[in-house]
């Protein structure tokens, strides 16, 4: 390897010093001795002693077969990046934190309690933190935990005027929001994909298998994880212009990936998001069961009509 080029002996001349460079991303090749150059389909035709047309057909077929291979397990495609060292600099927050002398901790506890984000049935499922200094200072830390490892976290502002409201990790941490999904139950057959971790946790606390894309723009990495998982995908983005655009983009992605149909279930009408409905004691499990529809032309029209009514 030399940079992004794979170097080998040229098949177009008598080169034996590995002067043929093949770009690993584009597939283009170039010999630095005989100046032969072109696309990978031409090189494949030369190697197999077939026509360029036959080469194209065979490469397309190989690609198709690769798509039909058994899906990898979610565990093998999940981006596992331990952030324990960073988390250890934060202060833990749990149900017992209500009597803390720290005003910031009290504010965070009240936020979680008012949003009904504490799991009162499983006390071990309450892993929140407070950051008091540094880049995430004055923020509630919402961790993404998978198999007891913290894969990712998001910081939610606790002070008025602190922007952005939700602060995500940057590339320096080795993992981006586009690389990860909020951990969900892999053994179930369907999952609701919402925008943020607070909505995903709200759904999970009501028994709904849920994840989030940390925003309403699904990435290639995220849809690959869902494709390899193999279950029914229900997009639960908010019923606003950004959410509707996000759903359309997911539909484009799944078509490029030769995936089956996606389904849609917006948060209940009259509530701004899933957490708002959760706070107001809406049965989200029943709502998802009764209001999930296949995403197709009719549902697009229904989305537009709902927006006109709002």
Beta strands in the chain (DSSP E): 5-8, 20-23, 29-31, 37-38, 91-93, 128-131, 139-146, 149-157, 166-167, 190-194, 210-212, 232-235, 263-264, 293-294
Same domain (yes/no): 133, 23: no
Domain boundary among 16, 40, 67: 67
CB contact at 8 A, 80 and 151: yes
Same domain (yes/no): 129, 229: no
Question: Residue 193's pLDDT is what?
Answer: 98
Same domain (yes/no): 188, 280: yes
Residue 91: which domain range?
71-176
Question: Residue 68's pLDDT is what?
Answer: 44
Question: Residue 45's pLDDT is what?
Answer: 85
Three-state secondary-structure class, residue 291:
helix
Question: Residue 297's pLDDT is what?
Answer: 55
What are 125's two structure tokens? Answer: 């499922």
Domain boundary among 49, 67, 85: 67
pTM: 0.72
What are 291's two structure tokens? Answer: 């209001």
What are 85's two structure tokens? Answer: 């060292």
Question: Residue 67's pLDDT is what?
Answer: 47
Instruction: CATH number of the domain at 189, please.
Output: 3.40.1360.10
Same domain (yes/no): 110, 187: no
Same domain (yes/no): 101, 19: no
What are 71's two structure tokens? Answer: 């899906």
Same domain (yes/no): 151, 113: yes
Same domain (yes/no): 152, 80: yes
Question: Residue 64's pLDDT is what?
Answer: 47
Question: Residue 175's pLDDT is what?
Answer: 77
150: β partners:
145
Same domain (yes/no): 107, 205: no
CB contact at 8 A, 179 and 221: yes
Same domain (yes/no): 77, 49: no
Same domain (yes/no): 117, 198: no
* CA atoms of 19 and 29, how far apart (whole Å): 10
Task: Give the up-direction half-sphere exposure of residue 230: CA atoms within 13 A in the CB hemisphere.
Answer: 12
Same domain (yes/no): 36, 129: no
Domain boundary among 156, 176, 196: 176
Question: Residue 72's pLDDT is what?
Answer: 47
Question: Residue 76's pLDDT is what?
Answer: 47
Average pLDDT per 10 consecutive residues for the chain, totaling 310 residues: 75 86 83 89 85 70 49 48 75 91 95 96 93 94 86 93 91 79 92 97 98 93 90 94 92 92 94 96 98 77 55
User: Structural domain tally of the chain?
Assistant: 3
38: β partners:
29
Same domain (yes/no): 275, 171: no
- Asked if the peptide bond before residue 278 counts as cis, ω within 30 degrees of 0, the response is no
Three-state secondary-structure class, residue 10:
coil
């Amino acid at each position: 390897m030399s940079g992004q080029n794979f170097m080998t002996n040229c098949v177009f001349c008598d080169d034996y010093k590995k002067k043929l460079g093949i770009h690993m991303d584009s597939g283009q090749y170039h010999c630095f001795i005989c100046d032969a150059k072109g696309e990978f389909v031409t090189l494949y035709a030369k190697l197999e002693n077939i026509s360029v047309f036959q080469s194209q057909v065979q490469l397309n077929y190989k690609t198709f077969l690769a798509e039909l291979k058994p899906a990898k397990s979610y565990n093998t495609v999940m981006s596992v990046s331990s952030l324990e060292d960073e988390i250890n600099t934060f202060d833990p927050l749990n149900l017992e934190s209500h009597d803390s002398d720290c005003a910031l901790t009290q504010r965070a506890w009240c936020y979680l309690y008012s949003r009904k984000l504490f799991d009162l049935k499983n006390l071990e499922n309450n892993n929140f933190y407070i950051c008091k200094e540094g880049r995430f200072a004055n923020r509630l830390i919402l961790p993404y935990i998978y198999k007891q490892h913290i894969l990712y976290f998001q910081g939610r502002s606790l002070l008025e005027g602190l922007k952005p409201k939700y602060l995500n990790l940057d590339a320096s941490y080795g993992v981006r929001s586009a690389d990860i999904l909020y951990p969900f139950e892999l053994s179930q057959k369907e999952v609701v994909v919402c925008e943020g971790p607070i909505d995903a946790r709200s759904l999970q606390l009501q028994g709904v298998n849920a994840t989030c894309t940390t925003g309403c723009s699904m990435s290639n990495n995220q849809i690959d994880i869902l494709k390899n998982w193999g279950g029914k995908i229900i997009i639960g983005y908010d019923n606003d212009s950004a959410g509707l655009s996000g759903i359309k983009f997911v539909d484009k992605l799944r078509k490029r990936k030769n995936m089956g149909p996606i389904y849609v279930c917006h948060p209940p009408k009259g509530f701004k998001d899933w957490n708002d409905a959760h706070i107001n004691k809406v049965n989200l499990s029943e709502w998802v069961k009764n209001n999930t529809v296949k995403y197709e032309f009719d549902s697009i029209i229904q989305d537009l009509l709902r927006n006109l009514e709002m």
